[in-house]
Structure 1
Amino acid sequence: MFINKDLQARLNNFDKLATRLMAKHSIALLRISVGIVFFWFGVLKFFPSLSPAEDLAARTIETLTFGLMKENISLPILALWECAIGVGLITGKFMRGTLLLLFAQMSGTIMPLFFFPNETFTHFPYAATLEGQYIIKNMVLISAGLVMWATVRGGQLVAEPNQKRQSMTVKAILQSQTMPQVKL
C-alpha cells in the first residue's frame, strides 16, 4: 500500500505525540478510574440491597472469620474499606497503604470462587456465573494495582525507550543491571 511520505511523516509525528501524552497521563487516569470504581462500589454497600455482590461478600467474610463477623458488621466495614481505597486512589495520597488495602481486599474477593463454586460457576472451572465473572474481572484491578505500585517510588511509563536497550535480549538486560556489592 502506497502512503504519501508527507502523510506518513505527519502520522508518525501524531503517533509520537499521542504516545507521549499517554505515557505522561495514563497512570494517573488509571489510578483515578480505579479509585472511582472502588469508591462507587463501596458507597453502594452502605445501602442495603443496592450492591449486587452484597450477599456473597457478607457470606464470604462470615466464612473467612469463622462466623464471628455477621453481615450487619461486615458490610459497613467492607463499604468503608472500599471507599478508603477509592479516596486514596482518587487523591493519590498514601499510595502504599492504599494499595496494600486494595491487595488485601482483592485477596478476599476471590475466595467465593473456592468457598461457593456452585454459585460462581455453572461448569467448574471454565463457565462462570455472573457472580463468578464479577469476581474474575478483579484480575484487572489487581493488575492495575501492580502497575500503580510500580510508580510509587517515581516509576513511570516511557514513551520512547532507549533504542540500545530496546534491541537487547532479556539476558543482556539482566546482565547489564548493576547489582549492589555486599561485603562480608
Structure 2
Amino acid sequence: MLPRVPQARIVPDMGEISDGASEDVETYMQTLQLLERLHRRLLDLIKDEFERLGRQELTPVQALILYNLGEDEVSAGELRSRGMYQGSNVSYNLKKLVTMGYIHHERCDLDRRSVRVRLTDEGLRIRRIMRELFIRHAEGLLCSGILNEPPLAKVNQQMRGIESYWVERIRYIY
C-alpha cells in the first residue's frame, strides 16, 4: 500500500490551502453551519414554549427582543447590536411590540430622531418566561454532562474571539 500523499484542497474563494490547514477550514465551515442551525433551533424552542403557553401572538424573534431588552432603557440601535435577530426587521418588530403593549417607547429629549425603549409590565412577564425557559435548558444540559467537555466557558471564549475577528473584518470593509 502506498503512503498517503498530502493534497491541497480547493475551498471556494480561498484558493489552495495546505492539507493541515484544510482540516481547520473544514471545521470552521462546520462551525458556521452549526451556529446557524443552533439559532434556528433556539427559535423553534421559543416558538414551542409560547405555543404550549397559548401565547402565539409573539414570534420567537419578538420574544428574543423582549428578553435581550431586559430591564434597561435603550435605543433601538443598541438593542439591535445586543441581539440575534436573523433575517428580521428590528424596527418593524419594535413597532409591533409597542402596539401589542410589550414595550414602551419615547423620543429622546436631546435628539428627537432617537427613540428609547423599555419593557412594560407585560413585557417583563414575557422576559421572565424566557429566562425560566433558558434556566430549564441550562439545568438539563448540565445534568446531561453536555456542557462539561470542553467547558462551556472555554467555548464562549472561543466564540467571543471569532466575534472579535468578524467585527475587525467588518470595520475593515468600511
**What is the TM-score of this pair, normalised by structure 2?**
0.33
**What is the TM-score of this pair, normalised by structure 1?**
0.31
Compare the two structures and name the one with the higher helix fraction: 1
Compare the two structures and name the one with the higher strand fraction: 2
Greater RCO, CA 8 A, separation 6+:
1
